[in-house]
Amino acid sequence: MAKSAAKQPIGKRDQTKLVNRQQILEAAKNLFADKGFEATNVRDIIHESSLSPGTFYNYFQSKEEIFEVLTDEIISEVREQIQVSYKNVKMDRAEIMKSLEKFFQIFLGNPRLMKFLSRNQSYLRELRSKGRFDGMLQDLEKALDDGVKNGMLPALPVKIVAIAVFGAVFEIIATMVITPGFDVKKAIETLSQLLFVHTGK
């Protein structure tokens, strides 16, 4: 068996590119969280990043492009945490409620993320309408389908229920990030009822 080639170290030029790109993303993330997407322009991001306009446009062409990259990073991180947390979780009501608590804690435990979400709801809704969150919806649909096949959930119209639950979760998060003292436990109870309304579980 051939020995796999060792990874080549990143050259100084490539390292600089990575640093510059991350610097722009961090600057934009801070501004979007503090001012919101609508109130932030490219000049603000360039100034915040301490890079030149020419350097900025080597990486991004617009603030929309940056926001979409940041949103994709958030989605990827949340999906990864969900997959790790929910691995081997049983589809009964008690376990579902525990899993939902863990899910919402991803947001509640990250004030910076909460601020970013609360400041940018309009554009996030626009991205949702364009299918940006479809991967998360597909994850939920698969989990529900597995629950039905394993007999842990009733024979649900999985696709429709997935859309309903995902929509409810999206709206709960949207409300949660702008409402101090929001009753997350009550929201979790309501979501679990939506899934188990036809059973005695």
CATH code for position 35: 1.10.10.60
CB 102 within 8 A of CB 85: yes
77 and 45, same structural domain? no
Domains identified in the chain, total number: 2
This prediction has a pTM of 0.82
Residue 5 lies in a domain: no
The pLDDT, as a whole number, for residue 190 is 87
Q: Tokens 């691995």 map to which residue?
A: 87
Q: Which residue has the tokens 């009733």?
A: 154
Amino acid identity, position 110: N
Tell me what pLDDT residue 86 has.
64
Mean pLDDT, 10 residues at a time, over the chain (201 residues)? 54 89 97 96 97 97 97 92 69 77 87 93 94 92 85 82 89 91 90 66 49
Q: Are residues 114 and 153 in the same domain?
A: yes
Nearest to 99 by CA among 108, 109, 88, 86: 86
* Per-residue model confidence (pLDDT) at position 2: 47
pLDDT of 186 reads 92
| CA-angle at 102, arms to 97 and 105, nearest 5° | 125
Structural domain of 36? 10-61
What CATH number does the domain containing 154 carry? 1.10.357.10
